[in-house]
C-alpha cells in the first residue's frame, strides 16, 4: 500500500513530475549513449591493438626485447604450440622477427622483418586482408612491403630490394629479395616499418633453421588473462615470458583506464545535477504536504514509515525516469550501433583505430543494469534529505501548516 | 471507582520563552472517564485545541502530567507516543484531512496499515467501518469526489476502525452545513453509545455542546466550568 501511495503521490503534480522525469531520463540517456560509445571505442582500440600485430597474448623467450638486433630464439616451439592448443586459443601463429635494413636503389630504411607462416598468420592479424597489390608472402620468398614505404623508395611489386640483418651467429648477412606484394593498414607508423616474408625463407636467409622468436595467440577479447594464466601454468617461467596485450601495449591499457576515469567523473557530475533536481522536486512536494505528513504522524505513523513513503516516491520518479531514459538510450544506441559515427578525419593516423574509423556504440546488458541501478539509487538517495526533514516535523506544527 | 481513561494533573502549556512566553493552557487538572462524550467549549484562543493536542499525545505539557489509562505519558519517547496514538486514540480533524491520493476505503485502511494489520483483514474492517458511518457506497471514491459531510464520515471511520479507547475530534462540524453537521454529531453520539468509546470534542457548535454528556468550558486556558 505504501508503494501505491508513493506512486500516486509521484503522479500528483503531473507537470512537475514530468519535468523532473524528463531531466533525469535525459541524464540517463546521455550516460547510456556515452558509455556505449566508450565501450565501442575501447573495443575498437583493443581490436586494433590485438588484430594489427600484438595478438591477445604473446610468448617470447626470457630476455626478449623488441629492439634486440640479434635473434633471441623462442625455446621449445613445439611445446609452446602444444600449450596454445591446450589453452584453447582460437588462433595462433609462430613468427621469426628481426630488425633489418632495407636497401632499395640509393635509399634505405630500418625495418622490422617478420617471417610468418602464411597459413596461420591470417588467424592472428588482418594484414593479409589489406593487400593492395601483388600477393601475401608464400614459399616463393617474395617480400610484403607497405605501400607507404615502397612509394618513397621508388619500388613496386616485382622489383628487387636488399635486406641486411644479423644471422643466428651474429654476422651481418645481405640478400636480394623480390617484392611479392604491397599492403596498407592506414596506420602510417606501422606501415613505415613492418615487412613480412615467408618464415622458411627468412630463417634460411638468417641461417637459423627452426628458429622462431615469438608466438602470438588470439581468443575472444577479454580472455587474455585466462589464456595467459593457462599458458603461464604450462610453460616454464624460467624459459618463457608470457605477456597479454595489456603488457605488450600498456599505452592502450592506460588510455582505456584514463577514459574510464574521465567517464566516471562525467557520470558523477551528471548524477549530482540529477540528484539536485530530484531533491528540489521532492522538497517542494514534501513542503506542500506538511499537513498530510502531520496527519500521518498524528495517526501514529512511525517516522520510518513517513521516511519510507517519501523515499519510495522519490524512487518512483527514478523508476519512471529509468524506464524513459532506457527506452531513449536503447533506441539511440541501436542507431549508433548500426550506423556509427565516422571518425576518419580524427583517427586516420591513429594506431588505436587501425581496423576501422567508424565508432559504433556497443550497449551491454550489465552496463544497462548498472546505469539503471545508479539512476534509481540516485533518485532514492535524493529523497533522503526531504524525508529526513519531514520526519523531524512536530506533529502539531505540521497539522497547522496551510 | 474505576481508573479514569485520561487525566490531566497540573498541566500547563506555554509557548515562547522569556518575556515573550505565553501560557496557552493551565494549570489544568481534570479526569475523563471511559465512555464519556465530552465537549470542550470556549472562545477562540481559549486553549481548546491545545488541550486536545495534549490529550491526543500530539504535544507535551510544559509542566504537569497527562495520564492515559493511569500511565504517565511524559516519559514516553516519540515512538512510544506514536504507538499509543496508533493503539488507543482516534482523531477527527476539522477538515477531515483525508489523504487525497487514497480512496475512502484506502484512507480507512491506512490507519490499520500503521498498526501492522494484514491486507485481507484490513480491507474487511475498513469496509465495515465505512458501512457503520454510512458511506460504504463511497468506498472507491477519492476525497476530492466526495462532499464535506461524506469526507468527515470517512474521517470518523478512519478514527474508529482500530477500536480506540478515545476519539479526539477538533471542531468536527466547523466546515459542514448545519444539517450535515447534525448528522455527523448524531453519528459520533451513536458510536459512543454503541461501542462505549470515549469522545473528547472541541467545538463552538451548540449542536456538539448539546450532545455532550459533559461540557468543559475553557477561557484563557483555564477551566471555567
H or E element in which residue A98 lies: strand A91-104
Question: How confident is the model at residue A329, as a pLDDT?
Answer: 94
In this structure, how many other beta carbons lie within 10 angstroms of the beta carbon of residue A135? 15
What's the grid cell of residue A86? 591446450
Contact between A5 and B93 using a beta-carbon 8 Å cutoff: no
Q: Which of A2, A302, A399 sits opposite B82 (nearest CB)?
A: A302
Contact between A299 and B59 using a beta-carbon 8 Å cutoff: no
Mean pLDDT of A86-94: 89
CA distance B118 to chain A (A): 11
Q: Please give the residue that has the higher pLDDT: either B114 or A71.
A: B114
Based on C-alpha coordinates, what's the Rg of chain B?
17
d(CA A356, CA A66): 26
Mean pLDDT of A264-281: 83
d(CA A141, CA A159): 13
Contact between B101 and A301 using a beta-carbon 8 Å cutoff: no
Q: Give the confidence band of A402 by pLDDT, cuts at 50, 70, 90.
A: low
Mean pLDDT of A240-261: 87
Residue pair A158/A179 in contact (Cβ under 8 Å)? The answer is yes
CA distance B168 to chain A (A): 11
Dump pLDDT digits (tens) for A190-216.
Answer: 888 899 999 999 999 999 888 999 999
**Percent of chain A residues past pLDDT 90, beyond the cut:** 31
Residue A53 has pLDDT above 80, yes or no: yes
Residue A325 has pLDDT above 90, yes or no: yes
The residue with cell 470556549 is B42
Q: Give the confidence band of A347 by pLDDT, cuts at 50, 70, 90.
A: low
Q: Examine residue A375 and say whether the peptide bond preceding it is cis (omega within 30 degrees of 0).
A: no
d(CA A203, CA A305): 80
CA distance A8 to chain B (A): 6
- Chain B hits for A300, CB-CB cut-off 8 Å, are 82-87, 89, 114-115
Q: Please give the residue that has the higher pLDDT: either A149 or A283.
A: A149
Q: Which residues in B have their CB inside 8 Å of a CB on A?
A: 53, 56, 58-59, 78-79, 82-87, 89, 91, 93, 97, 99-102, 106, 109-111, 113-115, 119, 158
- Chain B hits for A395, CB-CB cut-off 8 Å, are 58-59
Can you give the length of chain B in residues?
225
Break chain A into its structural domains and give their ranges: 2-50+252-399, 57-218
Contact between B97 and A12 using a beta-carbon 8 Å cutoff: no
Question: How confident is the model at residue B198, as a pLDDT?
Answer: 93
d(CA A309, CA A302): 11
Question: How confident is the model at residue A354, as a pLDDT?
Answer: 60
Best A294, A300, A395 residue to mutate vs chain B (most B CBs within 10 Å): A300
d(CA B71, CA A342): 79
CA distance B166 to chain A (A): 13
Dump pLDDT digits (tens) for A348-371.
Answer: 666 666 666 778 888 999 999 998
CA distance B49 to chain A (A): 10
Residue A243: strand pairing partners: A58
What's the grid cell of residue A239? 624459459
Residue pair A390/A306 in contact (Cβ under 8 Å)? The answer is yes
Question: How confident is the model at residue B1, as a pLDDT?
Answer: 46
Question: How confident is the model at residue A178, as a pLDDT?
Answer: 93
- Of A79-93, A221-235, A388-402, the poorest mean pLDDT is in A388-402
Q: How many CB pairs under 8 A join A and B?
A: 65
Contact between B97 and A295 using a beta-carbon 8 Å cutoff: yes
For residues B26, B29, B35 and B38, what is the CA-based torsion angle, rounded to 10 degrees? -40
Q: Which residues of chain B have pLDDT under 70?
A: 1-2
Question: Residue-wise over B187-221: b if at least 16 C-beta within 10 A, else e?
Answer: bbbebbeeeebbbbbbbbbeebbebbeebbbbeeb
In chain A, the residue whose alpha carbon lies closest to the alpha carbon of B96 is: A295
In degrees rounded to 5, what are phi and psi of residue B125? Answer: -65, -40
H or E element in which residue B22 lies: strand B22-32
Contact between A298 and B85 using a beta-carbon 8 Å cutoff: yes
Amino acid at each position: 500500500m505504501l508503494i501505491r501511495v508513493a506512486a500516486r503521490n509521484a503522479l500528483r503534480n503531473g507537470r512537475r513530475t514530468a519535468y523532473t522525469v524528463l531531466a533525469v531520463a535525459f541524464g540517463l540517456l546521455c550516460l547510456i549513449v556515452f558509455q556505449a560509445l566508450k565501450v565501442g571505442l575501447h573495443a575498437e582500440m583493443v581490436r586494433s591493438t590485438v588484430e594489427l600485430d600484438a595478438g591477445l597474448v604473446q610468448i617470447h623467450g626470457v630476455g626478449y626485447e623488441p629492439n634486440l638486433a640479434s635473434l633471441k630464439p623462442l625455446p621449445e616451439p613445439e611445446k609452446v604450440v602444444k600449450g596454445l592448443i591446450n589453452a584453447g586459443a582460437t588462433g595462433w601463429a609462430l613468427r621469426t622477427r628481426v630488425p633489418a635494413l632495407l636497401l632499395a636503389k640509393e635509399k634505405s630504411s630500418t625495418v622490422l622483418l617478420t617471417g610468418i607462416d602464411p597459413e596461420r598468420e591470417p588467424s592472428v592479424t588482418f594484414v593479409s586482408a589489406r593487400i593492395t597489390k601483388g600477393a601475401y608472402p608464400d614459399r616463393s620468398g617474395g617480400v610484403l612491403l607497405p605501400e607507404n614505404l615502397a612509394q618513397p623508395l621508388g619500388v613496386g611489386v616485382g622489383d628487387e630490394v636488399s635486406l641486411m640483418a644479423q644471422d643466428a651467429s651474429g654476422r651481418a648477412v645481405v640478400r636480394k629479395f623480390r617484392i611479392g606484394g604491397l599492403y596498407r593498414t592506414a596506420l602510417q607508423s606501422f606501415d613505415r616499418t613492418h615487412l613480412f616474408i615467408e618464415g622458411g625463407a627468412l630463417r634460411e636467409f638468417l641461417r637459423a633453421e627452426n628458429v622462431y622468436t615469438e608466438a602470438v595467440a588470439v581468443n575472444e577479447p577479454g580472455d587474455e588473462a585466462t589464456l595467459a594464466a593457462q599458458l603461464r601454468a604450462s610453460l616454464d617461467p624460467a624459459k618463457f615470458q608470457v605477456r597479454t596485450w595489456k603488457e605488450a601495449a600498456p599505452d592502450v591499457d592506460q588510455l582505456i583506464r584514463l577514459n574510464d576515469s574521465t567517464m566516471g567523473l562525467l557520470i558523477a557530475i551528471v548524477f549530482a545535477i540529477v540528484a539536485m533536481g530530484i531533491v528540489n522536486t521532492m522538497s517542494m512536494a514534501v513542503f506542500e504536504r506538511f499537513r498530510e505528513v502531520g496527519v500521518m504522524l498524528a495517526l501514529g505513523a512511525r517516522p520510518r514509515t513517513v521516511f519510507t513513503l517519501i523515499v519510495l516516491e522519490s524512487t518512483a520518479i527514478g523508476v519512471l525516469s529509468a524506464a524513459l531514459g532506457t527506452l531513449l538510450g536503447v533506441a539511440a544506441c541501436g542507431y549508433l550501433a548500426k550506423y556509427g559515427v565516422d571518425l576518419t578525419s580524427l583517427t586516420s593516423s591513429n594506431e588505436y583505430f587501425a581496423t576501422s574509423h567508424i565508432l559504433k556504440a556497443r550497449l551491454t546488458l550489465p552496463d544497462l543494469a548498472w546505469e539503471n541501478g545508479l539512476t534509481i539509487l540516485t533518485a532514492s538517495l535524493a529523497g533522503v534529505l526531504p524525508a529526513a526533514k519531514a520526519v523531524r516535523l512536530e506533529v502539531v506544527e505540521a497539522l497547522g501548516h496551510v | 471507582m474505576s481508573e479514569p481513561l485520561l487525566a490531566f494533573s497540573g498541566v500547563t502549556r506555554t509557548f515562547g520563552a522569556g518575556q515573550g512566553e505565553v501560557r496557552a493552557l493551565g494549570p489544568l487538572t481534570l479526569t475523563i472517564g471511559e465512555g464519556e462524550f465530552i465537549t470542550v467549549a470556549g472562545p477562540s484562543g481559549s486553549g481548546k485545541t491545545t488541550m486536545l493536542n495534549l490529550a491526543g499525545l500530539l504535544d507535551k505539557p510544559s509542566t504537569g502530567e497527562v495520564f492515559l489509562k493511569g500511565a504517565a505519558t511524559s516519559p514516553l519517547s516519540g515512538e512510544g507516543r506514536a504507538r499509543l496514538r496508533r493503539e488507543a486514540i482516534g482523531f477527527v480533524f476539522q477538515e477531515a484531512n483525508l489523504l487525497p491520493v487514497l480512496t475512502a476505503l484506502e484512507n480507512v485502511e491506512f490507519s490499520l496499515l500503521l498498526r501492522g494489520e494484514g491486507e485481507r483483514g484490513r480491507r474487511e474492517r475498513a469496509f465495515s467501518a465505512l458501512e457503520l458511518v454510512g458511506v460504504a457506497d463511497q468506498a472507491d471514491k477519492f476525497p476530492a469526489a466526495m462532499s464535506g459531510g461524506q469526507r468527515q464520515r470517512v474521517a470518523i471511520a478512519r478514527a474508529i476502525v482500530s477500536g480506540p479507547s478515545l476519539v479526539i475530534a477538533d471542531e468536527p462540524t466547523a466546515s459542514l452545513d448545519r444539517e450535515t453537521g447534525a448528522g455527523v454529531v448524531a453519528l459520533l453520539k451513536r458510536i459512543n453509545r454503541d461501542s462505549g468509546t470515549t469522545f473528547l470534542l472541541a467545538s463552538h457548535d451548540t449542536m456538539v455542546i448539546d450532545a455532550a454528556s459533559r461540557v468543559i468550558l475553557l477561557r484563557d486556558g483555564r477551566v471555567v466550568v
